[in-house]
């Protein structure tokens, strides 16, 4: 038995043409939320990416990602997953493959050059020319899970820690900026203070960010001026 319905889909703010999508009565999984202990084993076992974790519970995210083969069933230690027959979108192998490709791209490293430590980086190198520089305290990459995608992507990174390195970064950073045609500079640093609830919170420019990473976009001329004035590095203040 096949049922058809017409839907509008909005993609990137634009409406596509009406698209006829076939639904059918077929076998898909059903997850009993009250039994789920949130271990995530089923999501890992699902090669199609049909299962996701929402608020600590497993959930079937898309019918068209579920192939009905049930690799997730034996993975569940709580026996919370079963097959049911119901109306669902047909399994879409092309959509599954596209989703896998997008996830693979999102998970890859955004690092463009080596080395990355300020004390090891040369003053002049081809990768600086026309580059967008990212000057980062080395702790920021550990503190912020999306560091690669939100900060490192399409940038040349210079990493250091004034508290650990017995090096004055000011002179070297000024020379790198002076000798190379860089397009922009972004500084990522950490500020940590003790909150009233006893937990560490992070603050910048008068508003709090729970991840503790602070982003500043500043021009090369200003950073050189600050480097010359402070003579103590610009990563941690």
Tell me the CATH number at 46: 3.30.70.20
For residue 36 the two structure tokens come to 């789920």
Q: What is the mean pLDDT of residues 150-176?
A: 84
Last residue of a domain, one of 43, 72, 106: 106
Top-confidence residue, 141 or 117: 117
What is the sign of the dihedral through the CA atoms of 31, 35, 40 and 45?
negative
Contact 188, 213 (CB under 8 A): yes
Q: Is residue 163 part of a domain?
A: yes
Contacts of 92 (CB under 8 A, 6+ apart): 64, 65
Q: Is residue 237 part of a domain?
A: no
**97 shares its domain with 181:** no
The whole-chain average pLDDT of the chain stands at 76
Q: What is the mean pLDDT of residues 17-45?
A: 85
What is the sign of the dihedral through the CA atoms of 104, 110, 112 and 116?
negative
Element (H, E) at 83: strand 81-89
229 confidence band (pLDDT: 50, 70, 90): low
Element (H, E) at 177: helix 169-179
Beta bridge partners of 125: none
pTM: 0.49
Q: Is residue 102 part of a domain?
A: yes
pLDDT above 50 for 178: yes
| 219, 225, 228, 230: CA torsion to nearest 10 | -90
* pLDDT tens profile 59-95: 999 999 999 999 999 999 999 999 999 999 999 999 9
**212 shares its domain with 134:** yes
**51 shares its domain with 146:** no
Q: Is residue 112 part of a domain?
A: no
Structural domain harbouring 166: 126-230
Sort 132 into a burial class: Cβ within 10 Å, 0-12 / 13-18 / 19+.
Answer: middle
């Amino acid at each position: 038995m096949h049922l058809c319905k017409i839907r509008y889909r909005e993609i990137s703010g634009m409406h596509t043409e009406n698209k006829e999508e076939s639904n059918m009565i077929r076998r898909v999984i059903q997850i009993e939320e009250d039994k789920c202990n949130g271990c995530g084993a089923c999501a890992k076992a699902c090669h199609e990416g049909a299962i996701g974790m929402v608020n600590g519970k497993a959930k079937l995210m898309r019918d068209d990602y579920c192939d009905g083969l049930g690799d997730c069933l034996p993975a569940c230690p709580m026996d919370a997953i079963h097959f049911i027959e119901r109306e669902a979108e047909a399994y879409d192998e092309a959509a599954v493959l596209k989703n896998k490709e997008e996830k693979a791209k999102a998970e890859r490293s955004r690092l463009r050059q080596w080395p990355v430590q300020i004390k090891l980086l040369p003053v002049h190198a081809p990768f600086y020319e026309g580059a967008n520089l990212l000057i980062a305290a080395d702790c920021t990459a550990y503190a912020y899970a999306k560091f690669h995608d939100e900060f490192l992507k399409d940038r040349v990174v210079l990493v250091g820690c004034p508290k650990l390195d017995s090096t004055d970064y000011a002179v070297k950073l000024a020379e790198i900026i002076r000798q190379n045609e860089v397009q922009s500079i972004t500084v990522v640093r950490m500020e940590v203070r003790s909150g009233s609830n006893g937990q560490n919170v992070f603050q910048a420019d008068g508003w709090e960010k729970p991840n503790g990473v602070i982003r500043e976009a500043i021009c090369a001329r200003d950073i050189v001026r600050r480097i010359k004035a402070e003579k103590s590095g610009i990563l941690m203040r």
